[in-house]
Amino acid sequence: MTAPDQDHEDMSAEAVIARAIARRGEIFDEFRLLAQESPHTYDLISKTAGYMHHYAGEEGATQKLSGTMRELIALCQLCAKGDDRFAANHVRRLWQRGITNKVMVEAATAIAPIVGWSTIAHVTLAILTANDPAYPFGKIPPGGAPTTLTSFPELKLGREKSTAIRESLLDTAEWQYVAALDAELARRAAQWVDHCLLPNGAAGELLGPGPRELIAIAALCARGEMEFAAQHIRRAYRYGLSRLQVLEAISCVLPMTGALTVQIGVRAMQLADSAA
């Protein structure tokens, strides 16, 4: 995809808004006002987010993560920040892609060990809000929330490890320290975290450990936790995820956490490479 020559584009507020709607399908009132006051600012936001989140006509030929995976990462991070107004729109966008509520809840469990399980409640709140006809942004599919899942590539990725390294929370030095002081606390915390990040498929989980790691990595980078992010990046690599897939996952949270998150993510990737 060749970036348009901005010097030759109509940068009036009306034209910028029209291009944004063509990409995304709608525009929030907040951004409509932004576009009216600073068209150049919003034009750059729309184009950058369009590439990262696969808005219509903005996908890059070399990108690896599907638009669905990008939406799941964005939904989880929005809910982690409490951006409930925006999150419901992403639920509708996922419904339009044929993604069931169960997959969204599984994605939410993957971010929960990093940001807390209240985020799961924000995701379910977003689902409830998206199902309310009074919510004005995006469209509910004609049949409502899908009950049959439309497949996407990441459903088949990241299920088999390349090594036999143990990955339970109880295998980390920090939680072994906790266990020496309060074994029951460590047992219960590990049971929860392992459930979120290391599903074995026995209970019908749809997202494997690899895609869940992408969600967790993006959240760790957003929190500035470079060393922990590097540990999870190495885990993602063991599940067969590539460097580009990891980078793209981190970039999905740039709109709501800033470009610094990507820089932290790159440092974490470099740290992971150095320890490989």
What distance in Å separates the CA atoms of residue 248 and residue 264, rounded to the nearest whole number?
Answer: 13
> What does the pLDDT read at residue 249?
98
| Contact yes or no for 27/20 (Cβ under 8 A) | yes
| Contact yes or no for 79/108 (Cβ under 8 A) | yes
Q: Phi first, then psi: give them for residue 207, nearest 5 degrees.
A: -90, 125
> What does the pLDDT read at residue 2?
47
The answer to whether residue 6 sits within a structural domain is: yes
The answer to whether residue 181 sits within a structural domain is: no
| Contact yes or no for 9/28 (Cβ under 8 A) | no
> What does the pLDDT read at residue 6?
55
pLDDT, tens digit only, all 276 positions of the chain: 444 555 688 999 999 999 999 998 889 999 999 999 999 999 999 999 888 888 877 777 888 999 999 999 999 999 999 999 999 999 999 999 999 999 999 999 999 999 999 999 999 999 999 999 999 999 999 999 999 999 999 999 988 888 878 899 999 999 999 999 999 999 999 999 999 999 875 557 899 999 999 999 999 999 999 999 999 999 999 999 999 999 999 999 999 999 999 999 999 999 999 986
Q: Phi first, then psi: give them for residue 99, nearest 5 degrees.
A: -95, 130
> What does the pLDDT read at residue 276?
65
The answer to whether residue 228 sits within a structural domain is: no
> What does the pLDDT read at residue 70?
96
Longest CA–CA separation in the chain, Å: 66
What distance in Å separates the CA atoms of residue 252 and residue 70, rounded to the nearest whole number?
Answer: 6
| Contact yes or no for 240/158 (Cβ under 8 A) | yes
> What does the pLDDT read at residue 208?
93
> What does the pLDDT read at residue 203?
57
| SS3 category, 110 | helix
Q: How many domains does the chain have?
A: 1
Domain of residue 23, residue span = 1-52
The answer to whether residue 65 sits within a structural domain is: no
Question: How many CA within 13 A on the CB side of residue 168?
Answer: 12
Specify the residue for token string 């209240």. 118
Quickly count: other Cβ atoms within 10 Å of residue 169's Cβ.
22
> What does the pLDDT read at residue 1?
45
The answer to whether residue 25 sits within a structural domain is: yes
> What does the pLDDT read at residue 7?
60
The answer to whether residue 98 sits within a structural domain is: no
The answer to whether residue 31 sits within a structural domain is: yes
| SS3 category, 75 | helix
The answer to whether residue 30 sits within a structural domain is: yes
